[in-house]
Amino acid sequence: MFFDSDYREGARLDDGTPAEIRMIRASDQDLLRRGFERLSPESRYRRFLAPKRSLSDRELRYFTNVDGIDHFALIALTTTANGEGEGLGTARFIRLRADRTCAEAAVTVVDDWQGKGLGRLLLLRLIAAARERGVSHFRAYVLADNRKMHSLLEELGGATRIRSADGTVELDVPLPDVPADVSVPPLPVFKQHPVYRVLSEAAKGSVTPKPASS
Ligand SMILES: CC(C)(COP(=O)(O)OP(=O)(O)OC[C@H]1O[C@@H](n2cnc3c(N)ncnc32)[C@H](O)[C@@H]1OP(=O)(O)O)[C@@H](O)C(=O)NCCC(=O)NCCS
């Protein structure tokens, strides 16, 4: 597999900051806790759909002890001036038990590092790893609470399976074919893809994601 414990990628954010992306591991609990502390209340709310003051020890263990197949997670980090690692963001998917070709996915970037292309890069790598593991769709839950969301749903149409109940919309978004080892992805095409449109609208705050059940 391309995305295994040896996977390590040097990347540059849009502002030139060097970053490393690799699979998350059990020893990353502290890195994750510190990254969460730097997330704004708004980003925490968007990720978990509840005001969240901290991650519990149990959550930290759960988010870092991944099997790499059914629960897969990447972490992006940089090195601070004093030589310490600083977590910039994570991307994870958790495969659904009822449908192994589908997984719930979440991408989170620490506020100070948002808007520099990291969310896009993490999403690209997450998709490549998902495809490598036989996942063909990401499931997203969003709250159908505004007009922007409704027009996005109309736009997505087609290949995206959409179900709604109680004001919540469940989207099964098909994953594009993203080669894992291509450093310059076909961005203009990717940016039109439904899976990227959902991320981009989440970043703009125009759609509210509902948290994954885990
Ligand atoms: C959603 C999120 C992961 C995006 O990460 P990011 O690193 O900021 O994203 P990128 O820099 O790669 O930009 C992706 C798109 O979002 C847009 N964007 C990013 N930050 C934005 C901001 N503050 N305001 C408006 N647009 C923004 C970018 O312009 C880009 O869209 P475009 O290609 O149409 O121009 C990040 O905002 C985040 O962690 N939000 C909180 C948690 C969340 O909502 N996660 C998503 C669902 S689980």
pLDDT along the chain (214 residues), means of 10: 94 94 97 96 83 94 98 96 93 96 94 94 94 93 66 65 70 84 65 82 70 46
* pLDDT given for residue 139 in this prediction: 87
Specify the pLDDT at position 214.
37
CA-atom Rg of the chain in angstroms: 16
Q: Are 142 and 171 in contact (CB under 8 A)?
A: yes
- Residue bearing tokens 């995206």: 160
Instruction: Please name the helix (run of DSSP H) or strand (run of DSSP E) that holds residue 190, with its range, or none.
Output: helix 187-192
Query: Alpha-carbon distance 120 to 91, whole Å?
Result: 10
pLDDT of residue 89: 98
Pick the atom of ligand 1 nearest to 115's CA: 11
Write phi, then psi, for 135 (nearest 5 degrees): -90, 125
Question: Which residues sit opposite 22 in a β-bridge?
Answer: 8, 75
Residue of minimum CA distance from atom 30 in ligand 1? 200
Distance 112 CA to ligand 1 centre (A): 12
DSSP 128-163: HHHHHTT--EEEEEEE--SHHHHHHHHHH-TTSEEE
Spatial separation of the C-alpha atoms in residues 191 and 193, rounded to whole Å: 6
Atom of ligand 1 nearest to the CA of 108: 39
* pLDDT at res. 158: 59
DSSP 72: E
The residue behind tokens 């991944």 is: 66
CA–CA separation, 202 vs 204, rounded Å?
A: 5
